[in-house]
Structure 1
Amino acid sequence: MLKEMKRELSFHPEIDFLYADARGDNNRQFAQVQAFLKKKIDLLIISPNEADPLTPIVDQAFQQGIPVIVTDRKTSSGLYNAYVGSDNYNIGYLAGQYLAHHLQGKGKVALITGLPGSSASIEREKGVKEALQHHPNIAIQVQLNGQWLIQVATDEVQQHLRQLQEVDAIFAFNDQMAIGAYQALQQNHAKKPIKIFGVDALPGAGNGLEQIAQGHINASVLYPTGGAEAIRTAVAILHKQPYQRDNLLNTLVIDSANVQLMKMQADKIDSQQQDIDKQQRLLNEQQKIYRNQQSALNILVISLVLAIIFAGIAIYSLKSNWEKNKHLEEQNAEIRKQQQQLIDMSEQVKEVSAAKTNFFTNISHEFKTPLTLILAPVEDLLKEPSLPPAHKEHLLRIKRNGLRLMNLVSELIDIQRLAQEKLKLRAAAQPFQRFINQIVQSFKPLAHQKHILLSVEHHTTISNLWFDADLMEKVLYNLLSNAFKFTPNNGRIQVKTEQNTFGDHVLIRIIDNGKGIHKNHVEHIFDPFYQGAAYSTGGSGLGLALVKEIVELHHGQITVSSKENEGSSFTLRLPVGDAHLTDAEKEMAIEEIADLPKASPDLTTLQTPHDLGMEEWEHLPPKTNTLLVIDDNEEINYFFRDKLSEYYQVYTSTNAEDGIKLAYTKVPDLIISDVVMPGKSGIDLVKLLKKDTRTATIPIILLTALDSEDQRAAGLQAMADAYITKPFSTTHLEAVIQNLIASRKELKQRYSSELSATVDHTNAFSELDRRFLNDLSAIVETHLANPQLNVDDICRQIGISRVQLYRKVKALLHCSVNDYIIHRRLKKSKYLLQQDMTINEVAYQTGFSSPTYFATLFKQKFGLSPSSFKKQLHHKS
């Protein structure tokens, strides 16, 4: 690899190449990278000895903005710019296939692996084992750890010689360990020949190609070193050119059949490189001679030119010196004037910024005064023992939403204080496990209410941690609150604490199995006021931004990993000890943390109203008219049930998908829907329901906080019947509901084609019968102009058999299906004749095959012909 790198670097003399060999020692490699970082290198190329021990220092380089190229082996975190190397899993898989082929599908195999923590060893082991799974008659008898070293492999083979006598082949994860295995077997005079296979196939004395040629090992999987590819990738990164992140090199198996060809190619490459190096040295010598001669000539020419120029300059300078001095004085005066103007403007900007900041802070504080004056009387009223339950529920709703406003104002003030660096850290050594337990305990009632399994696990020996209890309480409450918001009932939330590998940081993880976060939103999740459209829960978008600021104030880090529909994990990484804190950030005395309250304002705003009395509405007697309310805020749904259930049968849903299903099954008289909801929006819901014949005639009211003209237009263009913005007047909303239902009934009475004479209105239809009649009416009305409409068409669309359709229509409408269709057509024709349409036009528009047939049926039904009916209308007008 080093030879390839130097060979490629010969084309880039402008690059300074620093190199260090860790010789298989993790600590040495860690220290070498630290030394490189102190030298402020421009790019790091590293082949990690083991993944986990080297991950922190590689991550540190990456986070400092230094490009990192990982070769041969990978780190655990994946924080690097590019990877160059072979696919170690593919190498292991190819070796397994080759073993199976040579053993003819039967035998016993021994594996000699590399360092246990090395990604190359892990992936090669996985590949060879998965390849051998396809050959059940081949068993892995022995597995030894050679640590990539020839001597270690030799010792391991000698110690397990008795077990190895039974195997047919040995697969070592590199050629050096394969050579060690061969030497150990030769020294101990193995009883039977054992095939030995390795990985690398490097040229040169003592390496894989030579050993295959001499018959010491049977084959080796070529592992391209990737030195040239690593340098090419590094040059592309340094020159800000496009590059590939994963550079996987090709491989093949080298055995006695092709080893000579590979040796010839390697020797040829070495010979060509030697020629190139020799020519480069000669070229350098010639360039040196040329540069010396060129320099001498240049000095001579320059001296002559300078002598002439200086003479001219001296003459010109004497003439124009006084003019330049005068011009410079004018420029200096202008510059001083502009400088003063900039100072004045800067002062003005500071004053304006300070005024904005003061206004923002003052108005945020001003919100707290009226909120306090609202909440304090509410608290007093709630203590009244004689308070009626209905009034108490209204007061509780005022209190919950008042606390929610108070929490939003507090978050705004905290964000502003952090931005102005006025929020100071007051850290003390705290028993953080007890601190976490108390906070989690305060969420137990909510967990019980939502049937969520809430657990705490501590996997650390650290008892005390330095942090600001008040600020850290906000962090944990915010993260747990979010977890409860996005975790469904019967879900799971875990809080875990542990230490990192070096023991200098504590990790606090909050894990849920909720809806997760889409990958497009994860990178913005900590931005102030950011809310992904599909993840809005009515929050402000300030919580996680405040969490990030507080954690960074503690000199820590917060990260998130999430997969949509599987859950999320937030990780706090806080330093152990107090060396990272300044004296101003420490409190002088260690104070005991007070017991946390059973529920905080933040938690209270999360909870849905308890004792809502759902059963009361379910057992109320059925009403004449039904409403469907769709809003993702459960309190809004409760409010509508409370206000409207006296006059209407009220159904509710918290999302558009369930709301659409309810609309199809319940067929309500009116629908009230929010616009901004998780998943489908209210606009989408309106478009879907208005396109469906089952729900097209249902009035829909959009109720939302979006009140711009464009948003109103979008709602009305989707065919919503009304668009009302929050906050709204309850009286106005009730009037709109009554008017829409009344006008729809009036339209039905005037223009509906329903049978009036044959239907027994005293008979109260069940909900299923009502839905059936609505579906039947919608299908017939839609296809009324089609003369080919028949019973089979209706059966196919409504989803029942001919016999069932006849029985159902006969039982409910006391007529046949054909009579029902004819009656609907005649009723519609009577209305159309009033619209100044000709008799022929009306006949064809209502689905009659001929005007004569239409006239005959019309006279039978209404006692006079269509022409006589039109004359009567004319005389009346």
Structure 2
Amino acid sequence: MMMISFIVVLGCSEKEHDKKIKIGFSQAMTTDEWRRQMNQSMMVEASLHPETELTIKDAHNDVKQQIKDIERLISEGVDILLVSPIEARPLDSVIKKALNQGVPVVAIDRKTDKEDFTAFIGADNIEVGRNAAKYIVANTRGVINIIEITGADASSPAYERSLGFKQIVDQNPQLKITDKIRGNWELPSAKSQLKALLAHRKETSYIFAHNDRMALGAWEAAKELGVEKNIKIIGVDALNTPNGGIELVKKGTLTATILYPNGGNEAIKLAITIHNREPFAKNNILNTIVVDRNNAEIIENQMDKVDQQQKVIEGQLEAIKIQEQEFSSQKHLVRLLSFFLATILALALYSIYSTVSLKKKKRQLEAINNTVTRQNNTLETMAEEARRNNEAKFSFFTGLSHEFKTPLTLIISYAESLIENEKIKGTRLMEEMKLIYTNSNRLLHLINQLLDFRKIEEQKFSLLTSRTNIYDFTLALMANFRAEATKRNIEFTVTCENRGIDIFIDHGLIDKVYFNLLSNAFKFTPDNGYIKIIIKETASQVKIIFRDSGIGIPEKELPQVFNPFFKASNNTKSSSGIGLNLAREFVVLHKGSLEVKSHHGTEFTLSLQKGTSHLTANEINRNEEDLKTGMLKLQEFVSSEPDVTTSINKNVNSEKYSLLIIEDHPDLVNFLDNKLGTDYNVTTSDGSDAVLCAIQNIPDIIICDINLKEIDGFEISRILKKDLRTSHIPIVMLTALSNKESMIKGLQAGVDSYLTKPFSLSVLQRTLENLLFNREKLRYYYTNNIYKVDPETRFGSLEQDFIAKMNTFITDNIDDPKFSVEELAEKMLVSRVQLYRKVKAILGINISDHISNIKLEQASEMLKGGNMNVSEVAYALGYSSPNYFSTAFKNKYGVSPKDYKTTG
């Protein structure tokens, strides 16, 4: 016990000793040597204080990133925060956040806009500017013309250096700042602008750059113009590095540079002072001096000695660090050895006593462990095999279900089309077509049942119940089976003592339970038999009994009836084996039960609870009114003309819109061709050449399936929407994939409408009409705005990019009478036919008329200007003769160019 206490005390003491001052530094960027030296001096100073832990985050000159870095340092629990701001204003709020959380903030080199920080350390940038100007005053006579190259506008050093420089200039009339160049602290920004400026500012005597990098850029610009010996250049920083300020002064590249200390080590000292609650100054200004040829070598020697001392210190610190690590390792090793020694001594007698027993138990445990390992491996293998089998089963059912939807589309669409035919209304054929339509939808119901099975397995179903009269509900669903009962002479009845029973059920799910139980009953009940539904009421439940005189189920197989894919041994009919499993799952969602027994037929008992106490608030639809009697009865199909709100059909004598159908099911292609061919010029593709077909024909609209042989519909849509030649074409996705993920993927691919199979032909027709109508509205917009929009003010769409680019080529060659449509198509990288169809589709006019309109539009502007006569305008716009120009102008504007010029 004493030993444990001793170890705990040692551990606590060590934790207390290891607690360090966390200093976080948000550096603006490290693209220059000055800031890298700041980071290095901080790390060296921090290493001299073992009680500190320094973290440096580089914002890479990105203000948003610096804000994120500061917030991350705050969340990591730093004790004090050092910040070198990129810009002053954006950091105010995040610095205030740190101060509100009790974290002191020290600004380095640059200040924030509101100066809401604990302390500032850095050189006085106003004094830097003053020193530069004072140096010019002290070393020159007469009128001096100066060019100033400033830093980035948003940074406080640039503003303050410029302010200090101007103060001295204003006090000395002989100094004159002739120009200011807005740099960004980097060499190229100064060089490119200054070179253009010096070409006509040959009287410049001095250049003051806000740092040595821009000063070097200024010297390079002057050298390229051959005036570097006539201009004296002053920089700021005075780094002791290759191409640093001191080296440039010694070489004569710069006349002088202002020493600008980075303050890295001073910042760490100040941070420790603030954390220890010792007195400190809010503004800590570092001294600056002017470095020229007189003192450059002296300062360089001093800096070299400092660098050497710093390297010695770093080496000593590294040696100390290694010794500390060795000492720490040895200390821990001693502790561990002491602990183990005590433990060994304490357990020695006991280990001798229990050696034999432990060996025996060890053998037993090894045997058990091997058995468990083998069983675990077996279980993992079985689980993986079960998962693969389950996934294969799900994929099979899902794929098969979607495959069924295409032929069903043909059956339902043809049936719907015939039902809408006025010639057969009221005939026996109409009733037969309705029967086909009803049973096709019943088949669709079975397909959806397969999809429901997967949803049940993945637990994607949710319950939403409504108050329902169960007797009326039962009658409505029985209506679906009346025709078959009559045809097979099956007694089909419902018995209910209380026809006013209301319970809360999810109509969609219980509808599927009824449908499954009744479908099975009719499947296995012979002709002239009976199927009875009996509704009984107890104090807390409603029981619906489905009783038939069918073949029944062997008694020993009854427990397996609700298992997925179960098929009774006496069942010779085709069956998926998932219907009863789904039915029970839907009933369980209602907190009810579904039971079965078989004796001279089969009897299923569906038990549902009364009231709402068994349901959650989210499972009850209280806003829905009570369902009325007969609400769920099968609605008769009523053929009616759709409400026509818009119409885009062309005149009888005009050409039809062109339609490209991309579908690999030949029967569906024939159906769509037959039904839509009267209104559209139809072209078809099985998908293998869909993109090529669309590019060659440039159709007005496209219908596309998803599951195709060589390339899917998503990829086809994506390619066509990214190609300037086809990007304007509306695409209707017609597919059996009805899940949300496929719809989202289709919209991401750029499709304009998404319809699922089976589909209504009238809905498809209306979708095509609406999309074409909307395109006509866009065409009107383009036609009335296209001459007012140049490439630099485009709207951003691919079509606008195309037209803007085309207009640029037309305008650039407007005075060339030989410029042809073929040349324009070549410049646009499309064929002449494709150019014609693209322009026709977007603007509604041919390319020749479009070129003529642009020329005449410019002609009207030139005539309004009044500086050119009609002949000059005609030749300037590439017309072969003034007479031809006059005729074209009068056809467009209704007056001759001469009259237009006079009246305009």
Which bracket does the TM-score occupy, shorter chain normalised?
A: 0.3 to 0.5
Q: Which has the larger radius of gyration?
A: 2
TM-score (norm 1): 0.34
TM-score (norm 2): 0.33
